[in-house]
Amino acid sequence: MFAEIADRMPQLLSGTWITLQLTVYSAAVGIVLALVFGLMGTSAHAWVRRVARVYVEIFRGLAVLILMFWFLYSLPLLGLRLEPMFAGVLALSLNIGAYGAEVVRGAILAVPKPQYEATIALNFTTAQRLRRVIIPQAWAAMLPPLTNLLIQLLKGTSLVSLITIVDLSKVADNWRGNTGNSALAYGVSLVFYFVIAQILVLIMRWLERRANRRLGRATPSRRAERATLPAAGGGA
C-alpha cells in the first residue's frame, strides 16, 4: 500500500497544486465580487441594490458544473474560447462571489447604527466611513461565514475534473481507473482534501483573531481567563 502511494505521490502533489491554484484564484476573484456587490446591496440607491440582487440571484441559482460547461463549450460557438483553467475559476468565483455578497451585505448592515451616526458627526466622507469604521467592524463579522464558503469552494474545485483539468480529484479517479483500487485512491485523496481544508481553517481563524484584536476585542480564551480572576481574588 505504502509503495503504491509513494509511486503516485508526484501525481498527487501535482493535482494538489492545481487544486490549490483553483481555490486561491477563485477565492481572490470571489472576495472582490462579494465586496463590490455586497456594498452595492447596502446602497441608498434602489437601482444599485437591484443590480446587486440580480447578480446574486442569477449566480447563486446556477449549477456551477453547468456554468463551467457553458463557458468551455458554448462560448466558442459565439466566437469566444476560454482555457479550461480560466473557465473553472470564472464559474467558481462567480458562484462563491454571489454567496459572499450576501455575507458582506449582512455584516455591513449589522454594524450598529450609532457607528454610522458617529461618522456623520465627524464629517467623514463615504470612503472614510467605510475604510475607518464600517469595513473593519464588518470584516470581523464576515470571517466566520467566509470560512465556510472557502471550504465549500475547495470542495467545489473537484468539479473541474469534468472539464479536462487534472486536479486532485482527477488524479484520484485516474488512479482508481488504472489500478481498480478505489478504496486507496479515494481514501488518500480524502486525506489530502482534509489537510488542505484544515490549513485554510487555521489561516482564516488567524485572520479572525487579528481582526478582533484590531477592534480591541479579546479572544474567547482571554475572556475566560478574566472571568476567573474575581473568583480567584475572592477566594484569597
Q: What angle do CA 227, 228, 234 make, to 5 degrees?
A: 115
Q: What type of residue is 163?
A: I
Kindly give the confidence (pLDDT) of every residue in the chain, 236 residues in length, as a single tens digit, with 9 standing for 90 and above: 778 888 889 999 999 999 999 999 999 999 999 999 999 999 889 999 999 999 999 999 999 999 999 999 999 998 999 999 999 999 999 999 999 999 999 999 988 888 877 887 887 877 888 888 888 889 989 999 999 999 999 999 999 999 989 999 999 999 998 888 889 999 999 999 999 999 999 999 999 999 888 888 765 555 554 554 454 444 43
Residue 128 lies in a domain: yes
Helix crossing, 168-179 with 182-214: angle to 10°?
170
Cell representation of residue 169: 480529484
pLDDT of residue 225: 46
Place of cell 488504472: 178
Residue 155 lies in a domain: yes
CATH code of residue 52: 1.10.3720.10
Residue 214 lies in a domain: yes
Domain around 216? 2-226
Phi and psi based region of residue 107 (left: phi greater than 0; alpha: psi -120 to 50; beta: remaining): alpha
State the Cα–Cα distance between residues 104 and 65, nearest whole angstrom: 25
Nearest to 154, CA basis, from 181, 189, 182, 193: 193
The number of distinct structural domains making up the chain is 1
State the Cα–Cα distance between residues 212 and 217, nearest whole angstrom: 5
Residue 231 lies in a domain: no
Q: Report whether 173 contacts 15 (CB < 8 A).
A: no
Helix crossing, 168-179 with 2-40: angle to 10°?
150
What is the pTM (predicted TM-score) of this model?
Answer: 0.85
Place of cell 465580487: 33
pLDDT of residue 232: 41
pLDDT of residue 187: 94
Residue 6 lies in a domain: yes
